[in-house]
Amino acid sequence: MPILILVSAFALTLLIIREIILNQVNSRQRLHRMLFPLLIPLAVLAVYGQVITHDFVLYDDPVYVQENPTILAGLTQANIVWAFSTLSMANWHPLTWLSYMLDIQLFGPSPGVMLFENVALHALNSILLFLFLQRWTSATYRSALVAALFALHPLHVESVAWISERKDVLSTLFWLLTLILYSGYAKQRSVRCYFLALAAFSLGLMTKPMLVTLPLVMLLMDYWPLKRFITPGIGTAPHETGEERPTAVSLLVEKLPFAALAAASCLITIVAQSGAMTPLNVSSLSNRISNSLNSYVAYLGKMFYPAGLSPFYPFPDAIPYWQPFLCGTIIAAVTVLALREHKRHPYLIVGWLWYLITMLPVIGIVRVGMHALADRYTYVPLIGIFIMLSWGISDLWSNRINDRRPLIAVSLAILFACSFLTWRQTAFWKDSSTLFSHAVNVTKDNYVASNVLAIDLMKKGNYLEALRLFELSTTQASWFIEPYIHKGNLLKRLGRNAEAFEAFNKAMVLNPFNVTIYIDLGNLLATMGQMEEAVEYLKLGLRVDPRSASAHYDIALALHQLGRLEEALNHYRLSISFGPGFPDTHNNMGITLAELGRVDEAIIEFRNALRRKPDYMEAQNNLERAISMKK
């Protein structure tokens, strides 16, 4: 993937240079149309290039890549099957998993390379956005401003500088390719473009389900800039080619295959996120609607004043009634204004509805997670606002002042300010300590930040300070189970088993449907020599999540120690089927097979372990012993 992107970018650069030379550009407009696709990625590289020295962060990265044995095993047939069958991380995004596996296969677990690929994808998205808008509006400078704002705005740092958000930049690539291919179909009636657009949309949905709103955005594009949409009371400019335009019904019909794919993605996502959704008795519908209205306006506020950005914003305990009322009024007012101007300035209603519609899947009506809002959710939606601003301010200025030089100067100043803020915000993503120390400074009672900083300190061996921060996190949010789990594991490491047991039990009371708690309790009991009790807790964990590879692996270890080898073997097999990248599972399964006298099968498993982890000395020694037993 990184090689493909770099080769494509290089080829694109050569084609642009060739175009300039062969056509001997003598028009400033043509020159700028060729130069913008070069200048924008250079600006992206200037502000984001520092990520090549950044590390993983202890927020989703361990589960997505850093400590995920399946991903770390690279591209194998079993891992590809796993990518398409797993609902891990409450999502179905097989192409995202495959992109990580390909990175590992080519470059190993290098965070700098993975982040640089994110940067390359972001630059490519910016170029495609410019090319799409410029092609269908012929407004080179306005299109360039939209693409530059998209490329350089600080709110997009989270999507680019975070390895776990690969799905944002990768899915947006397919989003833009779908729009470009669809526009080709719309203007040329090319069946080939239509089916290629369907294919691109399918790939996008397999990267991130947020693309489900794209069929509605395609309808917006029909209205402007494609100018295909015509209904009673809504006029558009005559079709530039003069052919008969489709009716509103036919426009809807041609979106049905896209809508069917979106509906299927929604169903899969609902199944995947069923265990992660916050129930209504915990967060009421009225509270969600209030926060959603606030979030719509909060994102706009952060767009205009991108200060105090954080990887996590705590959900408020209470929301004053005046806030959602005021925000709802603002949203309604902008909607009415955009509707009134839809004939003279169609980009206003298109840009505004783009923002409202694309934000719907993540606005919080269906609440997944503990956050109130997230910067990464603005990656695609803000394109609509950038279109409104670029076209709207340009038209407003042109109607009053002939000299455009001051407007260009102000635009450049804004882009320079965005570049500086983005460069500074990207620097905070250097590592966990830097990022979440910043989060603590810019937010109040950030229990997630306290917990992550405690984990970071625990990994660095500063146990006392880690315990203090775990306590602080539970004080900031007594219902938050993560610090109890990590605190329990730290106390176990310190030999304070009774206190560890108490911490795990507290987490279980708060959430009896978290498989990790049962696994950790089972491991604690196994450490204390209480194997039968350990097996019982691990079996409870399997009731919560029968597909947990870790639970099957740990119960197999306990059964092995109890001498129940056939049962252990069965759970090792189940662990491998649900988590094919675990080298330890193959190694220990090999040991069990050897003890059962099935040496040939044991040799196969030891080799499987070494295939996934070539420097695995224990598996190498076990393999040599097994081979010697055959002689």
CA distances (Å), 530 to each of 10, 37, 507, 588, in order?
Answer: 61, 65, 21, 20
Domain end point (choices 395, 428, 461): 428
* 490 and 347 belong to one structural domain: no
What is the C-alpha to C-alpha distance for residues 93 and 100, in angstroms, rounded to an integer? 11
* 424 and 493 belong to one structural domain: no
Q: Is the pLDDT of residue 249 over 50?
A: yes
CATH number at residue 487: 1.25.40.10
pLDDT of res. 243: 54
With bands split at pLDDT 50, 70 and 90, how would you rate the model's confidence at 1? very low
pLDDT of res. 291: 94
* 256 and 375 belong to one structural domain: yes
Count other C-beta atoms under 10 Å from residue 489's C-beta: 19
Distance of CA 256 to the CA centre of its chain: 27
Instruction: Look at residue 446 and tell me if it is in a domain.
Output: no
Count other C-beta atoms under 10 Å from residue 534's C-beta: 25
Instruction: Look at residue 560 and tell me if it is in a domain.
Output: yes
User: pLDDT tens digits, residue range 537-563?
Assistant: 999 999 999 999 999 999 999 999 999
| pLDDT, mean of residues 16-40 | 58
* 565 and 424 belong to one structural domain: no
pLDDT of res. 402: 77
Give 215 or 247, the one with higher predicted confidence: 215
* 368 and 513 belong to one structural domain: no
With bands split at pLDDT 50, 70 and 90, how would you rate the model's confidence at 121? very high
With bands split at pLDDT 50, 70 and 90, how would you rate the model's confidence at 30? low
Instruction: Look at residue 469 and tell me if it is in a domain.
Output: no
Instruction: Look at residue 434 and tell me if it is in a domain.
Output: no
By residue range, what is the domain housing residue 492? 474-630
* 508 and 383 belong to one structural domain: no
Judge contact between 516 and 503, C-beta under 8 A.
Answer: no
Instruction: Look at residue 523 and tell me if it is in a domain.
Output: yes
pLDDT of res. 498: 95
Q: Is the pLDDT of residue 34 over 90?
A: no
Cis peptide before 225 (omega within 30 of 0): yes
Rg for the chain (alpha carbons), in Å? 27
* 381 and 501 belong to one structural domain: no
Q: Is the pLDDT of residue 27 over 90?
A: no
User: pLDDT tens digits, residue range 124-145?
Assistant: 999 999 999 999 998 989 999 9
User: pLDDT tens digits, residue range 285-308?
Assistant: 899 999 999 999 999 999 999 999
The helix/strand/coil state of 578 is helix
Instruction: Look at residue 451 and tell me if it is in a domain.
Output: no
pLDDT of res. 241: 46
User: pLDDT tens digits, residue range 309-368?
Assistant: 999 999 988 899 999 999 999 999 999 999 999 999 999 999 999 999 999 999 988 887
| pLDDT, mean of residues 28-36 | 65
Tokens 């959900």 — which residue? Answer: 315
What is the C-alpha to C-alpha distance for residues 113 and 219, in angstroms, rounded to an integer? 38
* 242 and 365 belong to one structural domain: yes
pLDDT of res. 79: 92
Which tokens belong to 612? 């996934």
Q: Is the pLDDT of residue 458 over 90?
A: yes
* 410 and 478 belong to one structural domain: no
* 396 and 482 belong to one structural domain: no
| pLDDT, mean of residues 70-81 | 92
Instruction: Look at residue 445 and tell me if it is in a domain.
Output: no
CA neighbor of 65 nearest in space, from 92, 81, 45, 88: 88
pLDDT of res. 383: 98
The helix/strand/coil state of 314 is strand
pLDDT of res. 12: 45
* 286 and 407 belong to one structural domain: yes
pLDDT of res. 274: 76
Instruction: Look at residue 352 and tell me if it is in a domain.
Output: yes
Q: Is the pLDDT of residue 8 over 80?
A: no
Poorest-pLDDT segment among 45-59, 391-405, 447-461, 569-583: 391-405
pLDDT of res. 35: 79
Sign of the CA dihedral with 173 first, then 179, 185, and 187 last: negative
What is the C-alpha to C-alpha distance for residues 603 and 601, in angstroms, rounded to an integer? 5
Q: Is the pLDDT of residue 225 over 60?
A: yes
pLDDT of res. 195: 96
Q: Is the pLDDT of residue 277 over 80?
A: no
- Number of separate domains in the chain: 2
User: pLDDT tens digits, residue range 381-428?
Assistant: 999 999 999 999 999 888 777 778 888 899 999 999 999 999 999 999
> Hey, which residues does 55 pair with through a beta bridge?
none
What is the C-alpha to C-alpha distance for residues 552 and 575, in angstroms, rounded to an integer? 5
Which tokens belong to 375? 């910067």
pLDDT of res. 29: 57
| pLDDT, mean of residues 436-461 | 97
pLDDT of res. 416: 95
pLDDT of res. 237: 43
User: Across the chain, what does the average pLDDT equal?
Assistant: 90
The conformation of residue 62, written as its DSSP 8-state character, comes to I
Domain end point (choices 406, 428, 450): 428
What is the C-alpha to C-alpha distance for residues 350 and 112, in angstroms, rounded to an integer? 38
What is the C-alpha to C-alpha distance for residues 516 and 616, in angstroms, rounded to an integer? 26
| pLDDT, mean of residues 257-276 | 91
* 338 and 200 belong to one structural domain: yes
What is the C-alpha to C-alpha distance for residues 511 and 279, in angstroms, rounded to an integer? 12
Q: Is the pLDDT of residue 118 over 60?
A: yes
pLDDT of res. 18: 46
